Each structure stands twice: as structure tokens, then as C-alpha cells.
A and B are shown apart, each in its own frame.
Chain A
Amino acid sequence: MTTLTSLARAQAVATGMAQPVCTRRHVHLSDRPLVLVPLALAGEANAPLAALVGDDPQAGRLLVVSQPRNRDRRFAFAADLARIVVSYVEGYYSSVQTVPGGRGQEDRIRFADAPQLLVPNPACIGFVRMLGRSTRFRRPSGEYAVDPAVPVLGRWLSYFAERAEHPGSCLLLAATDAVALHWASGQSSVEDLNLATLMGWIDPPAGMTGAAAAAAGEDPVTWPPAGPATDPTFDNEVLAQLIAACDRPDDDARARQRAEAALQAALMTQVAPTWRLIWRAIGLLRGLPEASRVAARWDADKDSFTSYADWLRDDGPPQARRDAAVAAARRLSWLERSQASYAAQRALDDPLVMAEYRLAGEAFAGTVTAAEPGRLDSSGRRRKLRPLITVVTEDSLRMDAGATLVSPSRPSQQARVVSMAVVPPPPGPAAAAGQGSAGLVSAPPLRRTEVVLELSGGMGRALWAEPGSVPEPGERLCYTTLTDSYQPASSFPDREHTPWTHGGPPPEYVPADEDASEAWS
């Protein structure tokens, strides 16, 4: 399912500029996302070093741990970060909306919008997960007390990191993932994990090709790595001295302040460029029209957010350390199915994504050449409206007669394949139509197939079709075997498939004393 995107990469190489692989934006973008650029100290499991965080491109707050190995300093950092993140998240508690219950179900309430966290790359999602893990079991009282906001931060971060594994969820996004979904660069997907080079391909400075901007983006001295890892030469030549200076047992408060300020300034140079890149990426993505199904997926995110907020409010315990084995296996199959349905939705929303399925024969686009909108099927007890249409396509097909198709332009209507037949091309110089200019070497004329479809549904209740509900001759449209199997927003996820953040793992998890006192060294 990647031939077109691979071709797009080849085109990017040839032109020196990234090429679009989508015509719509398939991720939700909040009006007010919270951007987080974290840095961690090398060699440790999760030793936060700094974070630049904020929901306003002009006003990021830099938090720094001047003694990264000092436990108290780490928890102070976590408390500061907690205040920012938790207040941002809880800001969404203030407005709610009613969701109509639909068939036989009651109306329910959920938050009108949900928070959205943006980090530079997937490794930073890992950082969020680890930071959540290392803080969510802490307690505000007792022997190893921490600021009460810290465990709340931990639970939220763990929640966001878990949601990030759900295909189609947008509560926590990695900028590289979001951007690479929509554009093909002229480098490999491994290199696309570098936000500076990826953005270089897509949005180079004036006068530079994408390729040249990407090459410049690889220099860690001018474009620091997006994190959480720092550049080793920065660590060895700059950071080590500054941290040592903060470590000195100086009784001179002002010397200490100077040392901390110097450290903060240096760390700012390592996060500010990435911060600016993320906001630029957000701007680029906003420039794409939003795909139709984004809103429904965001509704599901809102449902999930509401559920988790309820769980927290009811004092639900923090997420357990591991899934039970059975739950993990079920979860894996659920994730696979979600991935497939997310891909199908993007195709139904976006002709360029659908094109990949056309290439594989699971979809075709064509023109209606004939239609019988009034045809009735009298074979059963009751007469039913079953129009026939004939569509001619140049795409290759891999469907059988009897297959059920749907068209993105008429999602509630089904089309059953009655027959398919190859037809000769119309005579004349238009024989090589679709190939562009004449004189191309050995371009065989495209094979044309005539497909007869029987339509049902989406036409109203009567025995005649409502205007516009049946395709007319001359209309160009697309049919596919893909279905939008996404669960409608009005129903909760099936309890069985509920991720453990909501249902709790079997058996019931009881947070232990040892979790609160777990070392974070």
C-alpha cells in the first residue's frame, strides 16, 4: 500500500522538494495545543534535564533541572511541569456538550473539547510515557512525599502516552509523524525522524531547495536534535561544565544564580529551534483542508478524555505496571483492526490516499455512462427501489461480481457489482488518453472496464429516488470495497476491548507502598 508514496519520494528527490501524499489533513489540530519539547540526561532511564512547554508560540516556559541526578530537583521539576500541564488539561473541564443518544440510548454529557499535546518525535512520546511511569505512583504524604500535583501529572502523561498508541487518536501527537503522514520527503523514513531535516524538505527557507535545507538541518550545532536525547558534543563541551558549576557547594547565592542562569541559557539554545519548528509544522498542517472523518475521531478522543477525567475524579488508581497477558493479546488484535480502519477512513476522505487502493484493485474511479434511476426489484414480497448505473473506468480491477461497494460521495448507499466487462477503447486519436502528450514511448492504451452496479439505500423511503441520490450520466465518482468500520461516536467502546486505562486490568490493581517509595535515582 505504498507505491504512490514511494513514487512521491522519488519525485521529491528529482525535484529537490517534498511532494504531497494527501490532499486533506487527517489529524485534528486544536486551536490551542500544548507543545512540549523535552530534554533528558544521557545514560539514565528517565532523568529529565529540561522542558520548553506552552500553548502560545511567543510564550514558552523553560523548566530546567540544574542538578539532574538530584531527586529533589527532579521532583521540583515534575511539580512545575505538573502545574502547567494539569492546569492546561483541567481547563477543558469547564465546558460540556450533550451527545444525542440515538436509537434507544439516552443522551449523555461529555466535554466539549479535549486537550492536545504535541511533541517533536516518537522518542519524545516515549519520554512522556516514562515520565508518567516514574511519577504516577508517587504520594503526596508519607515518607517520600511529593507535591500533590505530581502523581496527577503522572497519570495524565501515562494516559496520553497510551492514547498515542491508538491509530487515529490525536490527543498526543508527534510532529514528525503528523507531518510525514501528509508529505513525502526525498530522504528515507529513518531520516524523517529528524524534524529539522523533514521540515527542511517541506518548508525550506526562501532561496533554498528542500534537499539543501535538509542537509543543513542535519548539523547538530545549528539544529540541535529534537530530543529527548541531547547531542553528545553539546553534553561534553558545554553541558558538563555548566552542570558542574551548578553542583559546586557554593555558599555564594549569587554565584549559584549565575551558574543556573548560564545553564538555562544554554539549554534554551537546544530546545528553542525545535519549538519553532513544531509551531511551523502546526501552521503547515493548518493549511490543509480538514478531512471529513477527523471530527468523528476527535469525538472519540473527547469521549475517552471525559471517561478518564471521571476515573480520576472518582479516585481511580493509577495505571498498573503491565497488562495481564490475555488483555495484552486482545489489545494487540484490537490495535491491528484499528490500524486498518484508520487507513480506510483516510482513503474514504482523500482521493490521493484512495488512489493507493485503486492501484491495488480494491477501488476504482470512473464516469457514469448510463443510469436507470427508477428501476424496481419486484422479485420479493415487496417492491424495492434498485437503480442500476453503468460506470466506465480505466483503473485495473480486482473485484468479483456480487461484491459490495461504497462510494465516498454517497456513504449511506450500497452498490452491488452486477457485471464487469472490458470494452474496447473509443476509436480515434484519443486512444492514448490519460497518457498526456503524444510521442511517449510504448504507452499501451489504458484498458477500459464497464461495471454495472445495483444501488440500494440512501435514496429516501419512497419507490422513487430523491434528487441527487442516484449518480447521473457524466458524473465522475469512485467505488471501493473499503468500509468505514469505525465505531460511531455515540457508543462507548466495547468493555471487552476497553484499554486498561479505563477498565483496569484483571485482577484489580492495588497500588502498593513500594510504588510510592520506588527509587528515582
Chain B
Amino acid sequence: MLQRRIDELRTEVRRAAVDRDRARVRALRAELRTTEQAWEESLARLDEEQPASGSATTSHAPASMPSAGDGAAAVVDGAAAARGGGSLLPLREQVHQALTLLAAPAAPKLVSAVHEAFFTGLIPSVRLTSLRRDEERSFRSAPFARPYYVCAALTAELLAPARGVLAVSTWPLDRRVIGPLSPRVNYLSAAIRVAESYLRIPGPGPAAQRLLWRLAANIPGASGGARNMDPARVARAAQAELQIHAAGDLAARTAAAARARRQLDDPEQLFGSRLQLTRQAAAGSE
């Protein structure tokens, strides 16, 4: 009986975990997954052979007790309902759209949020983790074959790919480097761009509102209280702080971009350099 085997395996794998027997845990987990899969398939076949039934089945529950509350299960899956029509564009194009709106390097979560706010279709940010690597492979196999690439932003000090940040290859190099002040500067300019888009696009939905609201919350003077959100005010406040950092940030980025042009080849200028210790010594003296 598959069900019993599943229970046995669950017990065994948990005991192996307590014993810290890693090899055994891995083996048991694998067997448990395949057994669960087989069970699911056999149930699915059974279900197909029968007419559709109503409420959640409790055939697996222990016999001693009537159980399964149905309230929580009967609630409509809010998440599914919210998913609108998918975009017809490939992922890289969707990311390109969002980054173009932002006009500055951004983290995957921000890219997803911007896309959800202003374009159709959702990008689950987990799908972005391998995008940069795929783009690099594509570039190296056929350099500049495509009109743009989703690439990395480079850290100013070491010209290495900045962790968790995406950029567009067609931007000038000094927009694709990250100095110490750049994360904050990019955040503020993102807020400005989002506020401007919010005003420009007719009928911004709740996703756009939420995004602007979240950005404004971390900018002094941008939010006027719990319910009050004024995009123009957000942009003004962001701009005001941006002035403070702009000059220092620009100087750092300009210098870093110049170094990158001197020291890095084309793929490295887009996707960053993998550091050698010797180069670190040279860069650290900047």
C-alpha cells in the first residue's frame, strides 16, 4: 500500500535527519518523492475515472475522528484570481521594459514590481536569477548579435558584477557602474521615474499605488501620512535628497567607468570581471 510506504518513509527520513546521517537523508528523500509522485498519479487516475465530487476528500484522514474543516479550503484562491492575462513577450523583453522605465540598475524584486505596476503580465522574480548568466552565455557565443542584453552592473572598486543587480547593455558604461552612493541614488531615481510614470499612465492600478507607496515610505518628506499619496511630492522629495548625493556619486562612477574601459574587454564590461588577486591590489589603491 503506497500510503503506508509513504508514512514509513516519512518516519525514516525524519529519524535520519535527527541522526544527522546526510547520505541516508538524501536517499530517503529521493525515495519519498518518487513514492509520493506515484501515489499522486494513482489518485489522479482514480479521480478521472469518477465523476467530479464536491468538497475536499478526507479519505486519507485517520478513521478515528471526523476532521477536515472545509472553510479554509473553500476560499477562492485569491492569488490565482489575481493573475491576469500573461504577457506574450519573452522574459528578457519584459525585464528590458521595466529597466528602461527605471533607467538605472535595479534588483530583480524591484524590476518585477515595476513590471507588475506598469506593464501586463507578471514576472516571478525567481525566474530572474539565471537570466544574467544566460545572457552572458548568449553574448559570449555571439557578441553583440542582439540589439540589447540584460547585463550586470559593475562595482566601482573591483569592477566585479554587483550582486543582485540587473542593467541594460545599451546604457553608457558610467550608468552601469555602482559606486558606494549609487544604490541610494538609484533608489531615489527609481522613485522619481515611478512617480513620473504614475502620473503619465492613465488609470494606474493598485500595484502601481503599492509600489509608489513603498518607495515613498523610505524617502524623507515623500509621504504625507497614511492615506495621502501625491506622486509629484514623492518626486520632489526624492529629487531633493538626490541633489545631496549626485555629485559624489557621479565622480565615483565616472572614474570607475574610465578604469573599466581601460582594463576590461567587451564581455567583462557588460558582465563584470572575475577577480584575480593581482588585480585586487591594483584596484584597492584607487
Contacts and interface: CB of A to CB of B under 8 A. Distances in A.
A261 B11 contact: no
A257 B56 contact: yes
A234 B59 CA distance: 21
Interface in B1-32: 10-11, 13-15, 17-18, 29, 32
A237 B32 contact: yes
Nearest to B43: A258
A261 B59 CA distance: 8
Contacts of A237: 10, 13-14, 17, 29, 32
Interface in B49-63: 52, 56-62
B213 to A, nearest CB: 13
A262 B60 contact: yes
Interface stretch (A63-71, A172-180, A188-196, A333-341): A63-71
A434 interface: no
Contacts of B40: 255, 258
B78 interface: yes
Contacts of B79: 67, 70, 249
Contacts of A61: 66-67, 69
B10 A63 contact: no
A63 B36 CA distance: 24
Interface stretch (A153-161, A264-272, A319-327): A264-272
Interface stretch (A75-83, A404-412, A500-508): A75-83
Interface string A42-68: 000000000010000011111111110
B93 to A, nearest CB: 22
Nearest to B18: A233
A221 B11 contact: yes
Nearest to A83: B71
Contact of A64 (B60, B66, B72, B226): B72
Contacts of A265: 58, 60-62
Given A70-B78, A221-B11, A265-B60, A62 B29 contact: no
Given A80-B69, A237-B14, A514 B226 contact: yes
Nearest to A54: B65
A238 interface: yes
Contacts of A231: 14
B268 to A, nearest CB: 39
A249 B64 contact: no
Interface in B150-175: none
Interface residues of B, number: 40
Most buried by A among B14, B65, B72, B226: B72
A59 B69 contact: no
Contacts of A350: none
Nearest to A143: B227
Contacts of A255: 40, 44
A64 B79 CA distance: 18
Nearest to A263: B73
A73 B72 contact: yes
A378 interface: no
A66 B62 contact: no
A258 B32 contact: no
Contacts of A63: 69, 71-72
Interface string A253-297: 111111011101100110010010000000000000000000000
B43 A60 contact: no
Interface in B80-138: 80, 83
B28 to A, nearest CB: 8
B13 A264 contact: no
A268 B65 contact: yes
Nearest to A147: B71
A58 B29 CA distance: 35
Contacts of A77: 71-72
Nearest to A48: B72
A64 B69 contact: yes
A3 interface: no
B75 A60 contact: no
B75 A257 contact: no
B265 interface: no
B65 A58 contact: yes
Contacts of A264: 56, 58, 60-61, 67-68
A241 interface: yes
A268 B66 CA distance: 11
Given A258-B47, A261-B60, A272-B62, A234 B14 contact: yes
A90 interface: no
A377 interface: no
20 contacts: A59-B66, A60-B66, A70-B79, A77-B71, A80-B71, A234-B14, A236-B17, A237-B10, A237-B13, A237-B32, A241-B33, A249-B79, A254-B52, A255-B40, A257-B56, A257-B57, A258-B47, A261-B58, A264-B56, A264-B68
Q: Which 3 A-B pairs have the closest CB atoms?
A: A80-B71, A63-B69, A233-B14
Interface of A: 52, 58-67, 70, 72-73, 76-77, 79-80, 220-221, 231, 233-234, 236-238, 241, 249, 253-258, 260-262, 264-265, 268-269, 272, 275, 513-514
